[in-house]
Each structure stands twice: as structure tokens, then as C-alpha cells.
Amino acid sequence: MPFSSKLNSVKPLTIGLTGGIASGKSQVSQLFAARAIEIIDADEIARDLLKPDSPLLKPLKARFGNAIFDHNAILNRKALARIVFDSKEQLQWLNELMHPQVAKGMRARLEKATSPYVILDIPLLIDQTGIIPAHLKSLVDRVLVVDVSPQLQIERIIKRDQRTTLEAEAIIANQSSREQKLTLADDVLDNSGPVEALEPQVELLHNRYMEMCRKPL
């Protein structure tokens, strides 16, 4: 498949980990990390790209003004999120600005990876049209979806982020649907139950991926 075929002969299998907001991707990443598997987190790279003095802050300020910055000129991510999740146009603009840069950062980290396979934690791997954009598709050998129902997502968002039901629904509506994610999934983890139920599922997938690493892609 894509990215791996372009690397040198010793290369990791790449697993694109995705799922809706509050599906539990971070918990899944931690379980893979506990098995000595490297995690490349798209959100972490995005945060690094928006640190103070980043050149990407200039177009953000030009687009959204001072409302997304605090009194110390530090980006207020929650304020930015509220704006873009209320507008598909604004969200698309932000994604077009950030996604290529995040993909570039992920590629750089992937080239230095040493574990047999690598988890690429990419919340927006699948876009609203139900496809994987080309700049991300070239990174991923398999797609792993963490699956929960929209209702459970809403409950978790309200509890975790102190959002209203309407806000939670708006956030979910601005992401790819559950059906779109499952359509493109090579592997699925069910996270509708307690955290403890993830452990055996991750162990099963870990063993499967390790076996794949022993075979040519």
C-alpha cells in the first residue's frame, strides 16, 4: 500500500488510528504504547505548530482576529474550536491550513520510528465526505477505528468538556459519520464498555499487527 512502499527496505507497518470525538482514541494509544509501540499523535504535532511565535499564527489572527488569543497573545484553542465548529466554512479553512503541515510533521517522525509498527493517531483521518485525503492516505497502511455510538459520544463530551447537548451534536456533525468511518475500517475496536474491555481487544490486534510485520506488505 502507500507510504511504506516508499520508505527503505526496513520500514514499520503504519496503522491509522481514528474515531469520533470522545471515542477513546487516547486510551487506545496508551495501551499500544504500553506494548512498546511508537505513537505519532496528529493533535500533538498540531499543538506544536501553533506555539507562540509560530508563523501559522499570523493567518489565524488575520482570519479570526484577537478573539482567539488571550491577553498574553497565546492561542486560546477552545475559543478557536467554538468558532470553527459553528461553521463548516471556517472549519474547512482551518483544516486546509493545518492538515498539510501536520502530515509533514507526521512523515518526519515516521521516518525516525523504530518499533515494528507505528500507530498514527489521526482524529480527522476520514473527512466529512467519507474519504481519506491524499496527504494522509499516503501515510497509512491500515485504518483502525475506535467505535462508539453517537449518543455515548454526546454523553462523554458533556461530561468531559462541560459542553451542552447542542454543542456536542454540532461537533459530531462536523466530523465524518460513524458509518463513513466503519466503511473504511480495516480493524475496529469497540469502546462502548468499560476501559478494561479495551485491553483484550488491543492485545489481539497487537498480535495480529506483529504477525503482519513478519510478512511482506
**Would you list the DSSP string of 83-117?**
HHHT-HHHHHHHHHHHHHHHHHHHHHHHTT--SSE
C-beta of residue 14 within 8 angstroms of C-beta of residue 120: yes
The per-residue pLDDT for 217 is: 54
Cell numbers for 163, please give them: 459542553
C-beta of residue 17 within 8 angstroms of C-beta of residue 121: yes
C-beta of residue 113 within 8 angstroms of C-beta of residue 40: yes
The per-residue pLDDT for 39 is: 98
Query: Which strands, in side-by-side order, build the sheet including 38-41?
Result: 38-41, 117-121, 13-19, 142-147, 187-190
The per-residue pLDDT for 4 is: 40
The per-residue pLDDT for 9 is: 44
Distance CA 184, CA 139 (A): 15
Measuring CA to CA, which residue among 129, 130, 134, 109 is closest to residue 121?
Answer: 109
CATH number reported for the structural domain that contains residue 124 in this entry: 3.40.50.300
How many of the other CB atoms lie within 10 Å of CB of 190?
13
Residue 25 parent element (H or E): helix 25-33
C-beta of residue 48 within 8 angstroms of C-beta of residue 216: no
Residue 26 domain boundaries:
3-213
Task: Please give the chain's pLDDT, 217 residues, in tens.
Answer: 343 433 344 579 999 999 999 999 999 999 999 999 999 999 999 999 999 989 999 999 999 999 999 988 899 998 998 898 778 899 889 989 999 999 999 999 999 999 999 999 999 999 989 999 998 999 999 999 999 999 999 999 999 988 999 989 988 998 999 999 999 999 999 999 998 999 999 999 999 999 999 876 5
- Please tell me the pTM assigned to this model: 0.86
The per-residue pLDDT for 10 is: 59
The per-residue pLDDT for 214 is: 84
Q: How many domains does the chain have?
A: 1
